[in-house]
Amino acid sequence: MSLSPIPRGVYPSIAHISPQALADRGIKLVLADLDNTLVPYKVTQPPPELIAWKEALRASGIELFLLSNSRKPGRAKAFAEQLGIPYQGHSGKPKKAGYLKAMERMGVAPEETVMVGDQIFTDTLGANNAGVTPLLVRPIRLAGNPGRYIRYAVETPFRLLGRRKPFL
């Protein structure tokens, strides 16, 4: 376990993360951030592409688990229920406790788990700290919050380093 902010690959979107390639690496659980990773902020319905990806994961023997820091009451729960997956809201990323609790609930070890997220200082840092392989995707949409532009700009060097050592 390390406090490294460097992901194991940077992918354009979840659609570029192959369920079969994950299964071939021994992965049994995908922890996934919600906002700007699976869907844009404020989107309440899982789009067909996400449903298809979830089904491809399941067909490969991998479970999808929503690990969210969302502060909006019920957002993670409602989205996960529509998608038919387990969830954990208010996960406290980057603290490792949320990751460990999710893996314990699902009965898997860190080496059988990846975290898919869009942010270095929550998703990637927390995953590395918990011994989970962090996979970074480009944020779906930055519009609407000037702070996001600054945060993603600060993350750029780590994103570039992550491209050099992809997991898949």
For the residues 119-123, what does the mean pLDDT come to? 95
Task: Quote the CA–CA distance of 84 and 67 in Å, as a whole number.
Answer: 14
DSSP-derived secondary structure letter, 120:
I
More reliable by pLDDT, 143 or 76: 76
Read off the pLDDT of residues 123-153 as tens digits, 9 standing for 90 and up. 999 999 999 999 999 999 876 677 777 888 8
More reliable by pLDDT, 73 or 127: 127
Task: Quote the CA–CA distance of 140 and 162 in Å, as a whole number.
Answer: 18
pLDDT band at 39 (very low <50, low <70, confident <90, very high): very high
Contact yes or no for 140/40 (Cβ under 8 A): yes
Considering the chain, what is the average pLDDT of its residues?
Answer: 93
In a domain, 95, yes or no: yes
Furthest C-alpha separation in the chain: 40
Place of tokens 């021994």: 26
Domain range enclosing 33: 10-162
Task: Give the distance from CA 25 to its chain's centroid.
Answer: 17
Q: Which amino acid is at 91?
A: S
Within 10 Å of residue 5's Cβ, how many Cβ atoms? 18
In a domain, 5, yes or no: no
Range with the lowest mean pLDDT among 11-20, 66-75, 102-111? 66-75
Q: Is the pLDDT of residue 62 over 80?
A: yes
For the residues 14-19, what does the mean pLDDT come to? 97
More reliable by pLDDT, 163 or 132: 132
Which CATH number belongs to the domain containing residue 39 in this structure?
3.40.50.1000
- The pTM of this model reads 0.94
> What pLDDT does residue 143 have?
67
List of residues 6+ apart from 36 with CB closer than 8 A: 118, 119, 139, 140, 141
Q: Is the pLDDT of residue 7 over 80?
A: yes
Looking at the structure of the chain, the number of domains it has is: 1
In a domain, 55, yes or no: yes
List of residues 6+ apart from 48 with CB closer than 8 A: none
For the residues 49-65, what does the mean pLDDT come to? 98
Within 10 Å of residue 22's Cβ, how many Cβ atoms? 24
In a domain, 3, yes or no: no
